[in-house]
Amino acid sequence: MRYAEVIVDLSAGAVDRLFTYSVPDGMAVDAGWQVEVPFGPRKLEGFVVSMKDECGLPPERVKPVLRAVRDYPVVLPELLDLAVWMHERYLCNLVDALRLMIPAQMRGDRVRARTVRVARLKVSRAEAEAFLQANRRAKAQAEIVRRLIEAEELPASALPASALRALAGKGLVEIAGEEVRRTPLALKDGARSSDPELTPGQRRAVSEIADALERGGGRFLLHGVTGSGKTEVYIRAIRRALELGRTAIVLVPEIALTPQMVSWLHARFGADAAVLHSRLSAGERYDEWRRIRFGEARVVIGARSAVFAPVENLGVIVVDEEHETSYQSDRRPRYDAREIARRRAAAHGGVLILGSATPSISTYMRAMPGVRSENRLELIELRERVHGRPLPEVEVVDMRGEFERGNHSIFSGRLARALEDCLSEGRQAVLFINRRGYSTFVSCRACGYVVKCGACDVSMTFHQVENVLRCHYCGREMPPPKTCPKCGSRYIKYFGAGTQKVAEEVMKRFAGARVVRVDVDTTREKDAHEKLLERFRSGEANVLVGTQMIAKGLDFPNVTLAGVVAADMSLNLPDYRSKERTFQLITQVAGRAGRAEHPGRVVVQTYEPDHYVIQLAAKQDYRAFYLRESAYRRKALYPPFTAIARIVFSAKAAAQAQAAAETAETALGEFLDREGMRPDVVQMRAVEAPIKLLRGLARWQVFLKMYFKGDLEGVSREMQSLADRAPEGVQAEFEINPSNLF
């Protein structure tokens, strides 16, 4: 008898363990298979984690596996190991990790292959011709046979049904279901392109990576200025991997970025390229996933979760724009795709390439001398743009001066003129603004009241297109007030510009401006971002207004002007990473301009023109910024020199959340004392969360900062367990190095 150790597909601590089932004779089930098993009175799906020959229980006590849900292992052995590792590393249920390994709709069998019915001849050509001779009068049938002799195979739906049935009845024709793959939009256009000649810098990069690939693996940070051609380096490294019979994964931060990367990779790798992301329809996702699983596509492109793509023999894994926060999952399991990528590369003896023009401080630090070998990244630099194209000039405009001169518009004189010139020369412009919507907050002039969301402690954003106030945290909407809810005054004013307002102003002020706006609101629908970007690419639109969605990765040759409408918005956020993020943003936006023959111009509007972040970003001097920022973090004890962890407690009443946080604080304090870990801790306290109300729940947190030399894993485990033991009516969420601190 064989036994299967199964994790059932229910996410709950109580069933986060293996259950043993017997495998009936003749049933092909093995580790990694998706199965259905009896579970109490129910039937549940589950994943086979391992097999064994004995189970130590009397046979009648062991229930049998009911069936295999699919006739192949859905989780490959390497990914099964990875899930087990994630279970420990991210303190999640094993099934939460396993669920990441297959498209959601494959669970509960909610997606099927799409088939079309096709007709083909079942007899030889000679026999078919004999039939034509003998049946001249059965016109419709003869016609079908004639067409099938020619075409071999035709969709059944294109042929007259009754005649077809008659032929099938006579055994002349067979009708079979044939699977058709659903192809994502981005992979539909068929343009192929050939390899450009590499620049010397690219050639060096590719050869270093290819050497590592042949030697059994390596880890690289590809730091290249914007427009230095990092993508081409990825492509050649991948090409080499394919030549060696291996596969590749390319991760991009956001779906809005994917169309361009996808079309490049598609143009070079054709049907070998597959895409995986959450915006695909269930059917497309399932089909792409199977093309990858069965080796029909060997190059996978996708956002964060594509790091789990079921490739075998992985040779190259690329994380493009590695500094983006979207690589960190904000849901349980809170995995970091870069860390997963690194593990997968190591498991296959493949190469990891982290690429960016503005690497995160912690990544860059790992490419500096003196880092322990297991953490080290080899640094490869591309210091110049392709073909010696210059980096664009960045002009910093002091908005205080504009205001003093009586210019109260959102455009400085400089940006307005630059935009006019750009448009009159027939070029295109990209304008970046950190907020979507029209006005970022609504306030009463008489009493200062700011309209806030009823369920969250955040101000409401005005959306003019829909004429509503909307909360960007919970989505709640309300009509804009006519009078102040607090004092009754009619002097309600709208402050702060968002994408809608910038787009409107551009259309109002600049003749010949044709605007596309790209933000969360305009890209909700499937394929919307591809279509919007296509309107810009084709020249139908000449001004692209957008949020961080447009800040990175896009490569439009006709763009000669990039404008940052308000650089300070992100600089003053209460987060130790706000300087790093602002630097990245400005550098990346600047990088959109002047990528082809025409030189680019960049205008950055700010109220703090002398701030070193603005100054260094304007010079696009990453190294200087890194040195300054890392020195600051070392001194102020911020990551990567320390680790930050927290438990957020949310409850209907603030007192409840506070009590839970304070209880946990005490318990954690006792734990630290017991383990003698106090000296490793920089800070530990219960405080109200920066956003104290979210989706109707009051929030408190236990915040912890500690040195890396301490037993971070032990503390994490303790904090997770405190979160799991939160009192009734209190939600608790444990996070380590959270991507935001609100």
Of 196-204, 291-299, 459-467, 470-478, which part binds ligand ADP (CB under 6 A)? 196-204
Question: Is residue 227 involved in binding ligand ADP (CB under 6 A)?
Answer: yes
Which of ligand ADP, Zn ion, none does residue 201 bind to, with CB < 5 to 8 Å depending on kind?
none
Q: Please, are residues 75 and 47 in contact by the beta-carbon 8 Å criterion?
A: yes
Among 73, 103, 218, 229, binds ligand ADP (CB under 6 A): 229
Order of strands across the sheet with 19-23? 19-23, 2-8, 42-52, 34-39, 67-68
CB 302 within 8 A of CB 62: no
Instruction: Look up residue 451 and give its two tokens.
Output: 């309209």
Determine contact, residues 557/539, Cβ cutoff 8 Å.
no
Q: Is residue 231 a contact residue for ligand ADP (CB under 6 A)? A: yes
Q: Does 580 bind ligand ADP (CB under 6 A)?
A: no
What does the per-residue mask of binding to Zn ion show for 328-367, with x meaning CB under 5 A? ----------------------------------------
List phi, psi (to 5°) of 543: -125, 125
Q: Does 202 bind ligand ADP (CB under 6 A)?
A: yes
Please tell me whether residue 347 binds ligand ADP under the rule CB under 6 A. Answer: no
Rounded to whole angstroms, the Cα distance separating 108 from 482 reads 49
Query: Does the protein bind ligand ADP through residue 267 (CB under 6 A)?
Result: no
Segment lying near ligand ADP (by CB under 6 A), choices 36-44, 122-130, 230-238, 628-636: 230-238
Residue 550's contacts (CB-CB under 8 Å, 6 or more residues apart) are 256, 430, 432, 518, 544, 592
361 binds, among Zn ion, ligand ADP, none (CB under 5 to 8 A by kind): none
| CB contact at 8 A, 64 and 29 | no
Residue 589 to residue 382: CA distance in whole angstroms: 18
Give me the count of residues in the chain.
Answer: 742
Q: Does 487 bind Zn ion (CB under 5 A)?
A: yes
Q: How far apart are CA 111 and CA 109, in angstroms?
A: 6
Q: Which secondary-structure segment (H or E) carries 461? A: strand 461-463
19 makes contact, choosing from ligand ADP, Zn ion, none, with CB < 5 to 8 Å by partner type, with none
Nearest-angstrom CA–CA distance, 297 and 307 = 15
Candidates 181-189, 192-200, 292-300, 458-466 — which segment interacts with ligand ADP by CB under 6 A?
192-200
598 binds Zn ion (CB under 5 A): no
What is the pattern of x (binds ligand ADP, CB under 6 A) and - over residues 64-93?
------------------------------
For residue 90, what is the DSSP state?
S
Residue 386 contacts ligand ADP per CB under 6 A? yes
Q: Nearest distance from residue 600's CB to ligand ADP, in Å?
A: 12
Phi, psi of 461, deg, nearest 5: -100, 135
What mask of x and - would describe binding to ligand ADP in positions 232 to 261, judged by CB under 6 A? x-----------------------------
CB of 201 to ligand ADP, least distance (A): 9
Span near ligand ADP by CB under 6 A; candidates 220-228, 246-254, 525-533, 720-728 = 220-228
Q: Return the range that interacts with ligand ADP (CB under 6 A); candidates 12-20, 205-213, 219-227, 409-417.
A: 219-227
The CB-of-495 to Zn ion minimum distance in angstroms stands at 14
Please identify, among the stretches 284-292, 444-452, 524-532, 583-591, the one whose residues bind Zn ion according to the rule CB under 5 A: 444-452
Position 392 contacts ligand ADP (CB under 6 A): no
Q: Which of 22, 34, 141, 228 contacts ligand ADP by CB under 6 A?
A: 228
> Hey, what are 645's tokens?
């962890």
d(CA 196, CA 206): 14
CB of residue 635 to Zn ion, shortest distance in Å: 37
Choices 147-155, 225-233, 407-415, 543-551; region in contact with ligand ADP by CB under 6 A: 225-233
Pairing state of beta strands 19-23 and 2-8?
Answer: antiparallel
What tokens appear for 31 in the block?
């580790």
Contact between 70 and Zn ion per CB under 5 A: no
- Of 132-140, 226-234, 577-585, 609-617, which segment contacts ligand ADP by CB under 6 A? 226-234
Closest CA to 587 of 602, 597, 571: 602
Helix ranges (DSSP H) in 72-158: 77-89, 94-99, 125-134, 139-151
β-strands 2-8, 42-52 pairing: antiparallel
| b/e burial code for range 204-226 (CB count within 10 A of at least 16 → b) | ebbebbbebbeeebbbbbbbbbb
Question: How many angstroms separate the CA atoms of 522 and 520, rounded?
Answer: 6
Of the candidate spans 17-25, 198-206, 414-422, 636-644, the one that interacts with ligand ADP by CB under 6 A turns out to be: 198-206
Binding status of residue 595 toward ligand ADP by CB under 6 A: yes
What are the respective helix, strand and coil percentages of the chain, to the nearest 5? 35, 25, 35
Nearest residue (CB) to ligand ADP, 79 versus 257: 257
Instruction: Between 236 and 342, name the residue whose CB sits nearer to ligand ADP.
Output: 236
Closest-CA residue to 316 (of 349, 357, 282): 349
Q: Is residue 483 at the binding interface for Zn ion, with CB under 5 A as the rule? A: no
Partner interacting with residue 595 (select from ligand ADP, Zn ion, none; CB below 5-8 Å by kind):
ligand ADP
- CA–CA separation, 702 and 574 (whole Å): 17
Q: Are 576 and 555 in contact (CB under 8 A)?
A: no
Q: Which is nearer to ligand ADP, 184 or 224 (CB)?
A: 224
Minimum gap (Å) between residue 721 Cβ and Zn ion? 30
Q: Min. distance of Cβ 299 from ligand ADP in angstroms? A: 16
Instruction: Give the C-alpha distances (Å, rounded to integers) separating 493 from 445, 451, 598.
Output: 7, 11, 42
Q: Name the CA radius of gyration of the chain, rounded.
A: 30
Which of Zn ion, ligand ADP, none does residue 232 bind to, with CB < 5 to 8 Å depending on kind? ligand ADP
Residue 473 to residue 476: CA distance in whole angstroms: 8
Least distance to ligand ADP from the beta carbon of 253, Å?
12
- Exposed / middle / buried, residue 688 (Cβ in 10 Å: 0-12, 13-18, 19+): middle
If one asks whether residue 226 binds ligand ADP (CB under 6 A), the answer comes out as yes
Positions that interact with Zn ion (CB under 5 A): 444, 446-447, 449, 453, 455-456, 471, 473-474, 476, 484, 486-487, 489
Positions that interact with ligand ADP (CB under 6 A): 196-199, 202, 224, 226-232, 386, 555, 595
